Amino acid sequence: MTDHPFRVLPRVREDTEFFWTSGADGLLRFLTCTTCGYIVHPPAPICPRCLTKTLEPRPVSGRATVATFTINIQPWIPGFDPPYVIAMVELAEQPGLRLTTNIVGCPPEDVHIGMPVEVRFDQYDDVWLPLFAPVSG
């Protein structure tokens, strides 16, 4: 485990465990329809595109683009000191597939819409939170 700020952790349920533990092997996973390939997020019991129930967790590339963001300067949680970036990133695999996350690995003022980022995980006990950092190079 790394030295990191306090976080309010998600409730790991049977239907979301694959997502919150997928960082153990460094891969980000989303529920994917095995019939049409549509990525379903947040998880649901049925594919909204083809209406089948053949869904399973599958890894994605972990690459994304910053779609929108805000820089938080309010100290809401002791030990989680501002400023920090809260962002919605759009995953490369599917238009409209977005994840709310934090941008790490660069000063908040360097973050911009359209910025290419890639997943990194921050482990808290048995939960791996997906965070995103600028693509190196």
Q: Does the residue 4 lie in any domain?
A: no
Q: Residue 24: helix, strand or coil by DSSP?
A: helix
Q: What is the pLDDT of residues 8-55, one digit of tens each?
A: 788 899 999 999 999 999 999 999 999 999 999 999 999 999 999 999
Q: Which run of H or of E encompasses 129?
A: strand 127-134
CA distances in angstroms from 59 to 4, 22, 83, 110, 134, listed in the order given: 25, 9, 31, 29, 20
**Does residue 109 form part of some domain?**
yes
Instruction: Please check whether residue 75 lies inside any domain of the structure.
Output: yes
Examine residue 9 and state whether it is found in any structural domain, yes or no.
no
pLDDT of residue 48: 96
Kindly state whether residue 2 falls inside one of the protein's structural domains.
Answer: no
- Give me the amino acid identity at 28: L
> Is residue 2 scored above 80 in pLDDT?
no
Q: Tell me the residue type at 42.
A: P
Give this prediction's pTM.
0.91
Boundaries of domain holding 78: 17-134
Side-chain half-sphere of 57: how many Cα atoms within 13 Å? 15
- Domain membership of residue 12 (yes or no) is no
76: which residues sit within 8 A by CB, 6+ positions away? none
CA nearest neighbour of 117 among 105, 100, 127, 125: 105
In a domain, residue 5? The reply is no
Please indicate, yes or no, if residue 8 is contained in any of the structural domains: no
Please state the domain count of the chain.
1
d(CA 56, CA 20) in angstroms, rounded, equals 15
Over residues 94-129, the pLDDT tens digits come to 999 999 999 999 999 999 999 999 999 999 989 999
